[in-house]
Copies of this chain bind each other. A is one copy, B any other.
Amino acid sequence: MRPILETIPLADALSLMLSEARPIERIERVALDSAAGRVLATAPVAPEDVPPFDRAAMDGYAVRAEDTFAATRQAPRTLRCLEAIYTGQSATRSVGPGQCIEIATGAPMPDGADAVIIVEETDRHADDVDLFTPVYPRQNVGRRGADIAAGQVVLQAGDVLTPARVGALAACGTADVEVYAKPRVAILSTGNEIIEPGQPLGPAQIYDINRYTLGAIVSAHGGEPIVLPTAADSLDDLSRAIDRGLEYDMLLFSGGSSVGDRDLILDAIARRGEIIFHGVAVKPGKPTALGRIAGKPVVGMPGYPTSCLSNGYILIAPMLRRLARLPPYRPAIARVPLARRVVSTTGRHQFYTVRIENGTAVPAFKASGDITSMALADGYIEIPAHVDIVEAGQLVDVFLF
C-alpha cells in the first residue's frame, strides 16, 4: 500500500487546478431562445439604431413644444388634433403650428412634432385638445438610437448572457448568437464495487453516487457531463477509459485515488501523462489528485461521496468555471452564529457541513463516507487549516447549497 506522504495546501491545489483549466476556445452558434447563461464568444455590433426611430415615450399628444410654452391649468392652450397613431403605425400628416397628433407610447413621432404631452395633462373635446402644462423640446420622446446606436459594440466577448443581455441582442434583431461551447467533462466512477442504481446489489457492492453528484456540479457550473461506463480496477480498463475520456475537455475520475494496492488511477495517469499533485490538505477530500494527459486536465476525486462532492464544490466548480469562462461562483451566504463548538485539529482546511436551525448553524457532518453528511445539511462552513476551534456563538459564513 502507498500512503499519501505529503499533502499540498488547499490554496495551492486550487491554484494548480485553475492553471490547468485553459478557457475553452470552441465556439458554437445557438438560438437566442436558449442563449441565457451562455458566454458570448464574439462582440456583436448593432446593425441599426435601437429604437429605429424617434418614438413617443408616453401616451399623449405629439406637439411642437413651442406651442405649449404658455400653457397652464388656468389658461390651457388648445391644439387641433389631426389624427391618432398607435404603435406599429406611422402618421400620415405632419404637425404644424397649432396642431397635434394623438400618439401611443412607442409609436413613431410624426414629422413636425418634437415633444409629447402626457394624456393626464390634457382634456379632449372632439378634435380640440386643451393642454395644461408646457413641455420642452424632446420631452417624453425616446430618441432614435438612444438605447443602442447603429455600429455600437453592444456587448463584449466574454460577457455572460444575463436575461437583459439576451434582451439587448433581441433588440438588435439577433436571432442566434456565437457563444463558447460548454466544456464537456467525462465522468467516470472507478471501482469493482460500484454498480448503477436500478440494479439489485450483489455482495460487497454499493451504488454509484459520485457520477450523479459530480454530474450535477458539472451541469450547475457551465459544463456538460458525459458519463462513461464504470471502469473496473485494472490498469487496462482504466487506460481504455482514459482513451474515451480524452475526447472531452476534462476527465473527472472518482475512486482509486487513495492508497490501496488497487488504487490504480494514479498509475494509469502516470503511464499516459503526468501527475501534478496527489494529496490535498483538506478534510474531507485528502486523496485528490490532479494530472495532465495530452494537455487535458485529469482529476482523480476521492471515492467517498462526501469527500468527492465537497471537493466538487471547492475545487471542481472553480476549475470548471475557468474552463467555461464563467465568472467565479457567488454562493448565497448566511452569516449566523455557530450552535455548538467545532474542533478541527487535523491541520487540514475543513469543509464542514451544517444545518440552519433557529437562525444558528448546527453541525451536520457525520462521516466522509456518508452522503447524508451533505444531503441533510443546508450548506457548509470552511475552517482554515490553522484554526483548531470555532466556539459556539461565533458568527460563521454558511455557504448555502
| B203 adjacent to A108 (CB under 8 Å) | yes
Interface residues in A32-61 (C-beta closer than 8 Å to B) = 32-33, 36-37, 48, 50-53, 55, 57, 59
- Known contacts A33-B215, A377-B164: A370-B147 contact under CB 8 Å: yes
Asked whether any CB of chain B lies closer than 8 Å to the CB of A175, the reply is yes
| Chain A 359-401 near chain B by CB (<8 Å), digits 1 or 0 | 0000000110111101111000000000000000000000011
Q: Which of A13-21, A166-174, A242-250 contacts B (4 or more CB under 8 A)?
A: A166-174
CB-nearest residue of chain B relative to A103?
A: B260
| A171 adjacent to B371 (CB under 8 Å) | yes
| B220 adjacent to A163 (CB under 8 Å) | yes
- Known contacts A3-B120, A32-B212, A330-B400: A371-B104 contact under CB 8 Å: no
Residues of B within 8 A of A305 (CB): 167, 171
Asked whether any CB of chain B lies closer than 8 Å to the CB of A204, the reply is yes
Asked whether any CB of chain B lies closer than 8 Å to the CB of A300, the reply is no
Q: How many residues of A contact B (CB 8 A)?
A: 102
CB-nearest residue of chain B relative to A313?
A: B163
| B260 adjacent to A193 (CB under 8 Å) | no
Interface residues in A308-363 (C-beta closer than 8 Å to B) = 309, 312, 330-332
| A173 adjacent to B201 (CB under 8 Å) | yes
Asked whether any CB of chain B lies closer than 8 Å to the CB of A196, the reply is yes
- Checking B50, B207, B259, B261 against A171 with a beta-carbon cut-off of 8 angstroms, the contacting residue is B207
Asked whether any CB of chain B lies closer than 8 Å to the CB of A87, the reply is yes
Residues of B within 8 A of A119 (CB): 1, 3, 259
Asked whether any CB of chain B lies closer than 8 Å to the CB of A130, the reply is no
- Known contacts A105-B258, A146-B370, A166-B216: A204-B90 contact under CB 8 Å: yes
- Checking B89, B102, B211, B332 against A192 with a beta-carbon cut-off of 8 angstroms, the contacting residue is B89
| A86 adjacent to B164 (CB under 8 Å) | no
State in angstroms the CA–CA spacing of A211 and B167 once bound together: 9
User: Nearest-CB distance from A151 to chain B (Å)?
Assistant: 15
CB-nearest residue of chain B relative to A195?
A: B173
| A372 adjacent to B192 (CB under 8 Å) | no
A-B residue pairs, 5 tightest by C-beta: A88-B192, A175-B198, A164-B374, A330-B332, A163-B216
